[in-house]
Structure 1
């Protein structure tokens, strides 16, 4: 099976939750790799930017009146997204650690994970 055929089949069969799990696992893995490579400040931006984008997307989706998640959960996700935005700037300026962002993502991944799948 070609890679394109596999990707099409996965896109059809993958649930939104599984897609979020996969995306957050990839992004968190990229941040872990950047951290383990000793990257700091602006050198972390490729991984940080992607993380910031996904949290911004989550926030925008939760702000939609059509969103079917409970209001309290939506508010928490928006709050986390705002924190991610602020903390990312602090990481780039050398005022905070990327480890906190990794920890938040791991918590989300654990919540999205199918049973018996450890977060990276």
Structure 2
């Protein structure tokens, strides 16, 4: 799956963008579930961590943009969550953690909260 930069898809409607974000979060959830089953040293774990790092880096860039239409307080909360997810994913990558479930739970909450 190719992840496009928001600047390249800004002509999409907010509904299309939200649907795309939901699809990416769904993909992240699927990868994290496989990684949880296979373990932190598996190919599935490497794939999940790589995807999570790319996805949240992209989401954080968008959340930090002045063009983001979300309320400032919500953006700040999501940025804090995103930073935690990036740190946790990096800890997994380094072998210092295997907390796929924490990332998985938070990602599900965010995906389910999208309208």
Please report the TM-score for the alignment, with normalisation by the length of structure 1: 0.74
Q: Shift of residue 41 of structure 1? A: 3.9
5+ residue gaps in structure 2? 1-11
Larger Rg: 1
Residue by residue over 1:6-55, the C-alpha shift from the partner in whole angstroms, topping out at 9 and shown as x without a partner, is xxxxxx8962111111111111111101211x221474121111111111
How many angstroms apart in 1 are the aligned matches of 2:97 and 2:23?
A: 29
Residue by residue over 1:43-88, the C-alpha shift from the partner in whole angstroms, topping out at 9 and shown as x without a partner, is 4121111111111111111111121110011111111111111111
Please report the TM-score for the alignment, with normalisation by the length of structure 2: 0.76
Conserved in 1, the CA contact under 8 Å of 2:32 and 2:104? yes
Give the match's secondary structure for 1:15. helix
Give the match's secondary structure for 2:68. coil
Over the aligned positions, Cα root-mean-square deviation in angstroms equals 2.0
Runs of 4+ in structure 1 over 6 Å off: none
5+ residue gaps in structure 1? 1-11, 114-120
